[in-house]
Structure 1
Amino acid sequence: MPCPSSPFIPIAAPGLHTLQLDDGRTLALLRPDWPAPPWVRALFTTRQGGCSPAPWDGWNLGDHVGDAPARVAANRALLQRAMTALDARAPQPVFVQQVHGCDVLPLDALSRDGLQSAEPGCNGSDCDAAVGQRTAPLVADAALASQPGLACTMLVADCLPVLLAHRQARVVAAIHAGWRGLAGQNGQGVLEHSLAQFAQAVQQRCGLPAAQAARDTLAWLGPCIGPAAFEVGAEVRQAFLAGQPASAQAAVARCFSAPSSAQSPTPSAAQARPAPGTADQMRWYANLPALARQRLQALGVEAVYGNDGSAPWCTLGNAQWFFSHRRDARRLGSSGRMAACIWIDEAQPLPQ
């Protein structure tokens, strides 16, 4: 719960708050409910607020979905204002081109404009000059930071956002986990790649071995398409089973349910279903949060908070609060994007 002086007002599950800006505009966002250290700041935006018209109404942060660049820029400025309400010296969010892959972008080598430095060792004005010459987009599905100054930011509209923090080390990360990135290849997906680099950063900070780093890692799962709405083909289930040890096969299989045994989808979910497969192709409902929890547990991360697969977390079933690509793109032609952000508050006492 926020302190009495907090500008954030809780309004609904799962952790939704409103923030009234000094110009009278009201934004709605999620504040992760997890025992993160005091130097960690994080938020997840909703669609409430902003200036975009349908089908991106209203707080769309995606610049690749057909919305006008000026509106996206204005909405991103609102994100910066929301971050500043949490941290007076809030850093700039770094947006990347997400490709449903496993690449992790370390932000410590970036300048304030979010472009990668041409020389790994440059800093200050030299670094700013070097990165100003770079125009290629940054491509990644996870971002990691161990210094204040830039915010790890991932855009979603059905895929699962995952935020990481550490109890002892000042290391944070944001991860975009759609089913392709989460499944990966041979059991190695975006969570495995991210946790490996996260553990390396923790070890550099405080010398903890990988197993200890995992035990002290906190994970928060944000809103995504829920298990009553995410209908997939047999190839998706097989992608998650592939490469898993025999001991994990049953746990993975439990994250998929046949349509006859799944929770009945909402009307909007039924309308958004993809076309049925052929007669010999089984359809399944996939539980993305459960699949992520299974992967995190296998990696030694036990402290997992947030999305438990229940209805309030479902992006498709809660059109008032969340964008959903599966719900909106087929019906309206496009969908907006929400942001999961995490950063280090430089005003708070930091560990070594």
Structure 2
Amino acid sequence: MTDSSLQAQLDAADLDWIVPDWPVPAHVHALSTTRNGVRGSAADFSKHSVDAASVHNTLRRFCYSEPVWLAQVHGTTVCDADGLRNDVPTADAAISRSADKACAILAADCLPVLFSDRSGNAVGAAHAGWRGLAAGVLEATVDAMRIDPSNMLVWLGPAIGPRSFQVGRDVFESFCGDDPGAAECFVSERDGKWRADLYGLARRRLARVGVSAIFGGGRCTYTERNVFYSYRRGGEEASARMATLIWIEPREMRQA
């Protein structure tokens, strides 16, 4: 189900940011920003953004937990956000069991992935570009959460779609070398190229570790140019990034 309260707040602010449609408990909140900010402004969360203070202030109107930002390197390191203060860890995933922190991911074509257990006691977020996905960042996040995978809910945020993500043999072999069945997530083209389905690859890898409740997917950051930034689309906006966050509502704020 969609978080109707958060959706109403975004609608009132005239923001087209995305609220995940998945059956998490009411005290778990999540959102994924788009390229669009308030009053027609740009919402660029990259370190190069000239309006960084403004977009972060806008975000904090809806996310009352402190976002934990990561120095993302396309790896598999998962950090525990609850033990952090003001530092920016080098990692590509974060987990939290506290209402004080929001797990945050930056992306613009790479796949942002959110995690929650069905009781809403633990949440997580992972940055899954093809390198991190092939290396096992999703499996590492599932393992770090210490939750039975059958009790886990996962949402796939906006990423480059399967019709737009052309890759070479190195990417194909990174996934299919030890999992020949992953070839179903690739469409062969001429000259040794393939079209890769990040969503399908993520679902496949999650299923292999026992996660079956997977939601989201279906958007394309490359083709939906009025909604999303895209690194592959290039141009002046190649360095711009969108944010995807998940957090636990403090107990004192929850409705009885």
Q: State if a TM-score over 0.5 links the two structures.
A: yes
The 1:254–1:345 alpha-carbon spacing in structure 2 relative to 1, beyond 3 Å, is same
Moved >2 Å (runs of 4+): 6-9, 17-21, 331-335
Native 8 Å contact 2:150 2:211 kept in 1: yes
CA 1:78–1:343 in structure 2 vs 1: closer, same or farther (change >3 Å)? same
**Quick one: which of 175, 181, 194 aligns to 2:141?**
194
Structure 2 counterpart of 1:220, from 133, 139, 155? 155
The match for 2:241 is 337
Provide the C-alpha distance between the structure 2 equivalents of 1:95 and 1:44, rounded to a whole number of angstroms.
14
Residue deviations 1:201-226, cap 9 Å, x none?
Answer: x4xxxxxxxxxx10010000011000
1:20 alignment partner in structure 2:
12
Judged with a 3 Å threshold, the aligned counterparts in structure 2 of structure 1 residues 332 and 255 are, in CA distance, closer, same or farther, namely same
> What does residue 54 of structure 2 align with?
74
- Aligned AA for 1:192? E
TM-score computed with the length of structure 1 as normaliser: 0.68
Work out whether residues 231 and 237 of structure 2, in 8 Å CA contact, stay in contact via their aligned partners in 1.
Answer: no
Deviations 1:298-345 (A, max 9, x none): 0100000000xx4xx000010111110101x2x336331111100111
User: 2:115: which partner in 1?
Assistant: 164
Work out the percentage of aligned pairs sharing the same amino acid: 38
Structure exhibiting the larger radius of gyration computed from Cα positions = 1
Match of 1:41 among 19, 29, 33: 29
1:176 aligns with 2:127: yes
Cα pair 1:39 1:170 within 8 Å, conserved? no
CA contact (8 A) 2:6 2:19 kept: no
Q: Secondary structure at the match of 1:294?
A: helix
Aligned-partner SS, 2:232: helix
The residue that corresponds to 1:258 in the other structure is 188
Q: Using a 3 Å threshold, how does the CA distance of structure 1 residues 18 and 108 change in structure 2: closer, same or farther?
A: closer
- 8 Å CA contact 1:97–1:138 kept in 2: the answer is yes
Distance 1:177 1:72 in 2: 24
- Aligned CA distance change for structure 1 residues 227 and 343 (closer, same or farther; 3 Å): same
In the alignment, does 2:214 pair up with 1:301? no
Q: Answer yes or no: is the 8 Å Cα contact 2:29–2:247 preserved in 1.
A: yes
Structure-to-structure mapping, 1:84-103, within 5 angstroms: 90-103=64-77
- 1:322 aligned partner: 228
Instruction: Please tell me the root mean square deviation across aligned C-alpha atoms, in Å.
Output: 2.2
Structure 2 unaligned spans of 5+: none
Partner Cα distance (2:232, 2:108) in 1: 8
Distance 1:77 1:297, change over 3 A: same
Deviation at 1:2, TM superposition (A): 5.9
Larger displacement relative to structure 2 (317-326 or 41-50): 41-50
Please report how far the alpha carbon of residue 164 of structure 1 lies from its aligned counterpart in structure 2 after TM superposition: 0.2
1:29 paired residue number: 17
User: Which deviations, in whole Å up to 9, do the C-alpha atoms of 1:85-120 show, x marking residues without a partner?
Assistant: xxxxx2111111100000001011123xx32xxxxx
| Count of paired positions | 253
Any stretches of 5+ residues in structure 1 without a counterpart?
10-16, 84-89, 116-136, 203-212, 261-278
Q: Which amino acid aligns with 1:254?
A: E
Partner of 2:198: 288
Contact 1:51 1:74 in 2 (8 A): no
- CA distance in structure 1 between the aligned counterparts of 2:104 and 2:27, rounded to whole angstroms: 17
Shift of 1:28: 1.8
SS in structure 1 opposite 2:15?
A: strand
**TM-aligned CA distance change 1:335 to 1:344, over 3 Å:** same
Q: Distance in 2 between matches of 1:191 and 1:8?
A: 27
* 1:58 lines up with 2:58 in the alignment: no
The 1:217/1:332 distance shift into structure 2, 3 A limit, reads same
Aligned partner (choices 82, 85, 94) of residue 108 of structure 1: 82
Residue 141 (structure 1) aligned to one of 89, 92, 108: 92
